[in-house]
Amino acid sequence: MSTKKVNKIGVLTSGGDAPGMNAAVRAVVRTGIYHGLDVFGIMRGYSGMVDDDIFPMDSRSVANIIQRGGTILKTARCKEFFEPEGRKKAYENLKKRGIDGLVIIGGDGSFRGAQRFSNEYDIPCIGLPGTIDKDIAGSDFTIGFDTAVNTAVEAIDKIRDTMDAHDRLFLVEVMGRDAGYIALHSGIATGAENILIPETKTDIEELIQSLTEKEKRKKLVNLIVVAEGDEFGGANELAKVIKERIPQADTRVCILGHIQRGGSPSCLDRLIASNMGYHAVECLIKGRFNVMVGIVNNKVHFTPLDKAVKQKQRISAEWMKIVKILAS
């Protein structure tokens, strides 16, 4: 714990956007104002710090945003922040306004930036896990995951209706370049026969064999949920392999894409974003610096930023077993 007093804080959203980021911004601003702090919004992630796109926020500036997807502060990937000169510029822009604490809502990349920045300059940073991928260790939930996975479930349910009507083989690709959580959760929730994720190696021979057997019985109705980062390179690539090996299969591919990022945040995402946003400011007030605020076993949990960027949330082997048993 530090005894340094924080008086002026900045809040930004960075990296990939996620539904619920607005709810987190709202909570940070209103908790900050409750404690008598000056709160500044920083536009487009670290770009706003480097380019001096920073503005004072009040309670009204976050009115009517809790239900909105995207982020009113916009988000971006900022190349300059990787360089010491970019971070120096960012620091100078904060310093001239007296901003002495930051809340960063983003993924592990954004936390890496925050960790570097807080090591170099005397500006404490608090990270809030905002990512649809749920790939951050130190929290059972990340802001945006619940909404994204529910969007995927709704879409896949609709696909299953038409798939069943035609006796087709459907490959649905969901987001997740490095993490299979959206695929795993949406696949289990929609009763997918197969779920392919980056964390586990796909046994293609086993898959082809099971599809071939179904085809022989004229029962090739099969839903495969594929994470975009699976080692096959996504649903289109996998479809090519299946087409080659089972040419008679009536195969269709659907890539859900960016619809998974948008939309009004779910109740759960609004709740965790509000809770985390509140605790981020409490951390700055109490001198608990350079941590990520997470939720573990229903309790608020603080992970040092340097630890949070080193660990990934793992998918348990038991989940994969459950997938197999339930789909058989």
Does residue 112 belong to the site contacting ligand ADP (CB under 6 A)? yes
Nearer to ligand ADP, 48 or 234 (CB): 48
Q: How far is the CB of 53 from ligand ADP (least distance, A)?
A: 14
Does residue 113 belong to the site contacting ligand ADP (CB under 6 A)? yes
Q: How far is the CB of 58 from ligand ADP (least distance, A)?
A: 27
User: How many angstroms separate the CA atoms of 48 and 181, rounded?
Assistant: 31
According to the 3-state scheme, what is the secondary structure of the chain?
Answer: CCCCCCCEEEEEECCCCCCCHHHHHHHHHHHHHHCCCEEEEECCCHHHHHHCCEEEECHHHHCCCCCCCCCCCCCCCCCHHHCHHHHHHHHHHHHCCCCCEEEEEECHHHHHHHHHHHHHCCCCEEEEEECCCCCECCCCCCECHHHHHHHHHHHHHHHHHHHHHHCCEEEEEECCCCCCHHHHHHHHHCCCCEEECCCCCCCHHHHHHHHHHHHHCCCCCEEEEEECCCCCCCHHHHHHHHHHHCCCCCEEEEECHHHHCCCCCCHHHHHHHHHHHHHHHHHHHHCCCCEEEEEECCEEEEEEHHHHCCCECCCCHHHHHHHHHHHC
CB neighbours of residue 18 within 10 Å = 32
Counting residues that bind ligand ADP (by CB under 6 A) gives: 18
Known active-site residue 133: yes
Q: How far is the CB of 195 from ligand ADP (least distance, A)?
A: 23
Q: Which of 8, 35, 68, 77 binds ligand ADP (CB under 6 A)?
A: 77
Q: Which of 107, 124, 180, 265 binds ligand ADP (CB under 6 A)?
A: 107
Q: Which residues in the 130-149 window bind ligand ADP by CB under 6 A?
A: 131
Q: How far is the CB of 207 from ligand ADP (least distance, A)?
A: 31
Nearer to ligand ADP, 138 or 187 (CB): 138
Does residue 89 belong to the site contacting ligand ADP (CB under 6 A)? no
Q: How far is the CB of 284 from ligand ADP (least distance, A)?
A: 20
Nearer to ligand ADP, 14 or 31 (CB): 14
Q: Which of 81, 141, 170, 232 binds ligand ADP (CB under 6 A)?
A: 81
Q: Which of 13, 31, 93, 110 binds ligand ADP (CB under 6 A)?
A: 110
* Active-site residue identified among 17, 100, 108, 133: 133
Does residue 181 belong to the site contacting ligand ADP (CB under 6 A)? no
Token duo for residue 23: 């709810």
The CB-nearest residue to ligand ADP is 109
Does residue 32 belong to the site contacting ligand ADP (CB under 6 A)? no
User: How many angstroms separate the CA atoms of 18 and 3, rounded?
Assistant: 33
Contact between 128 and 85 (Cβ < 8 Å): no
Query: Residue 90 phi/psi, 5° resolution?
Result: -60, -45
Span of 58-66, 107-115, 182-190, 275-283 interacting with ligand ADP by CB under 6 A? 107-115
Does residue 82 belong to the site contacting ligand ADP (CB under 6 A)? yes
Nearer to ligand ADP, 79 or 166 (CB): 79
User: How many angstroms separate the CA atoms of 120 and 190, rounded?
Assistant: 47
Q: Which residues in the 40-59 window bind ligand ADP by CB under 6 A?
A: 45-46
Q: How far is the CB of 305 from ligand ADP (least distance, A)?
A: 12
Summarize as ranges the residues that interact with ligand ADP (CB under 6 A): 14-16, 45-46, 77-78, 81-82, 106-110, 112-113, 116, 131
